[in-house]
A and B are shown apart, each in its own frame.
Chain A
Amino acid sequence: MRNPYEVLGLEQGASLDDVKKAYRELARIHNNDYQKMDELNAAYDTIVMNFGNKNRSNTYANTNAQYTYEANTTEGTSEFGDIRAKLNSGRIDDAEMLLDGIPHQRRNAEWFYLKGAIQHRRGWLESAAESFERAHNMDPQNPEYTAAFKQLNREKKGHYRQERNTNNNNGCCDPCGCDGCDICTGLCCADCCCECMGGDLIRCC
């Protein structure tokens, strides 16, 4: 399966609002193309279902990451692959033990990323944010580390407030999805009905 964020034309780690917006726009364009719609729906579902998952090592992000590793450095996968597998299956203590056993000179960006992921799972947010930042600084090109680093940074800046405000605005501008088109259609219908009964609502038609 393709990376769902790619399907929606977004960057890894885009916010839920962006995902919704992108999905709606694409759905409007492709609504006659069943195959494309299936793909869009699947991508949207995957993101929403996994959204807020404790970290970005959920299945699709992980397969995605492993692809890039195989392409760039073949060594990277074999080094921490088992630790990632343990993390994914929820065996955090085992993963941490393995990770801490790795000597200092071999601790690269991925090591710090995984350390951060473990700390994040445990809820040790300050250390997690530091580890992610370090991973990001060591390898700024890697989308996985950048996404993790950016998400915690967004939360630090009080992202939950913005989310609340946009939610409230949406509720007030667009309560039932009734727009100009709906009003016109409604009037036409009413006119037809009136004409059936011998009256007239809109003189000119």
Chain B
Amino acid sequence: MLGYIRAHKPEMKFKDYELYKGVYCTLCKALGKRYGFIPRFILSYDFTFFAMVRMAVRNQCPGFKQSHCSFNPAKKCLDCNCDNEDIAYTADVTILMMYHKLCDNIQDSGFFKRFLCKLIMPYAKHLYKKACKRTGDICKVLEAQMARQQEIEKRNGNLDEAADPSAVMLSELLVHNIECEEKESLRKFGYMVGRWVYITDAVNDCEEDIKDGSFNPLKKRADDENFTEYCEEMMNLTIGEAIISYKRLKIFRFDDILTNILYDGVYSVTQKVLKKGGTENEKSV
């Protein structure tokens, strides 16, 4: 996950903005508490969304209190109860995903980047082992999906196949240890969001991948005349399905924020990635 799922600030209410940032801050703190100082820098808004969805589908109020940002103590922020299991779980998931992203980078990026990734690998591995211990069996699922991804890349699979492992990963992470109504819809929702992130990333990296010769499922179509429309259609289709599943979920809180992310945030990212005159507010919150 790479920061594609984010809120669209101009359409947001102040109260929602505070809450959204509050969850982000809490996650950052939880990362610091559980894994030390450095991993805090890898946190992205995707994981805020992830944590909020998990909190939204269950009726256990997390509760917020006023607190201070630890990077900038003068800045106030809301603090969600830190012993909240979803926050802790999301922090673990952040580490798991970071590790897999790093492995992926070593597999298929240029010399310099690969060197950098290898340099921090031992440290990442140490964190990963810690996170695995805390999350239990779920890291096995992730490893299996990563292996599948490589296999699909080797035989140059199509878009549906290539997006499948990432999508399954996110859906499994999202429904892990969760008790809620409409669990199947939640799974489907996770799948579609994961798929959307994968496609968006593929669209974003397409030019670069063609230059480097690394795998990209969109390569085959890149010379088509209506390539941009094709990408947009695929992104729209996927997020449209995600929204259909979202509507079937029973959402207890954060509905405005999640709706903002799914409709407006996603739309602005879509426009930006397709380079259709990117919007001014590209820096979320």
Residue numbers of A with Cβ under 8 A of B are 51-52, 54, 119, 123-127, 129, 152, 155-161, 163-164
Contacts and interface: CB of A to CB of B under 8 A. Distances in A.
Contacts of B158: 126-127
A52 B248 contact: yes
B236 A156 contact: yes
Contacts of A54: 188
A152 B236 CA distance: 10
Given A52-B247, A54-B188, A164-B264, A124 B233 contact: no
Main secondary structure of the interface of A (DSSP, over half): helix
Interface string B232-276: 111011111101110110000000000000111001000000000
Contact of A155 (B191, B236, B262, B267): B236
Contacts of B104: none
A125 B247 contact: no
A123 B267 contact: no
27 contacts: A51-B247, A52-B244, A119-B160, A123-B188, A123-B195, A123-B241, A124-B161, A124-B164, A125-B195, A125-B234, A126-B159, A126-B160, A126-B234, A127-B158, A129-B237, A152-B237, A156-B237, A158-B232, A158-B240, A159-B236, A160-B236, A160-B239, A160-B240, A160-B262, A161-B267, A163-B243, A164-B263
Contacts of B191: 123
Interface of B: 158-161, 164, 167, 188, 191-192, 195, 232-234, 236-241, 243-245, 247-248, 262-264, 267
A159 B267 CA distance: 12
A161 B263 contact: yes
Given A157-B233, A157-B236, A125 B241 contact: yes
B218 to A, nearest CB: 11
Contacts of B234: 125-126, 156
Closest 5 pairs between A and B when the two form their complex, measured CB to CB: A155-B240, A52-B244, A124-B160, A156-B233, A164-B263
Contacts of A160: 236, 239-240, 243, 262-263
Given A52-B248, A161-B263, A164-B263, A155 B164 contact: no
Contacts of B195: 123, 125
Query: Residue among B161, B236, B245, B262 with the most chain A CB within 10 A?
Result: B236
B240 A159 contact: yes
Given A126-B159, A164-B264, A158 B236 contact: yes
B248 A125 contact: no
A119 B239 CA distance: 16
A123 B159 CA distance: 12
B71 to A, nearest CB: 35
Given A52-B245, A164-B263, A125 B160 contact: yes
Contacts of B192: 123
A159 B236 CA distance: 8
A138 B191 CA distance: 31
Contacts of B267: 161
A123 B243 CA distance: 13
A125 B238 contact: yes
B250 to A, nearest CB: 13
Contacts of A119: 160
Query: Residue among A54, A126, A129 with the most chain B CB within 10 A?
Result: A126
A93 to B, nearest CB: 15
Contacts of B239: 160
A52 B241 CA distance: 8
A163 to B, nearest CB: 8
Nearest to A50: B248
Query: Residue among A125, A155, A158 with the most chain B CB within 10 A?
Result: A125
Given A54-B188, A160-B236, 14 more contacts: A51-B247, A52-B247, A123-B167, A123-B188, A123-B195, A123-B241, A124-B160, A125-B237, A125-B238, A127-B160, A152-B237, A156-B237, A159-B240, A160-B239
Query: Residue among B188, B247, B263 with the most chain A CB within 10 A?
Result: B263
A152 B244 CA distance: 12
A123 B236 CA distance: 14
Nearest to B187: A123
A42 to B, nearest CB: 20
B225 to A, nearest CB: 17
Nearest to B167: A123
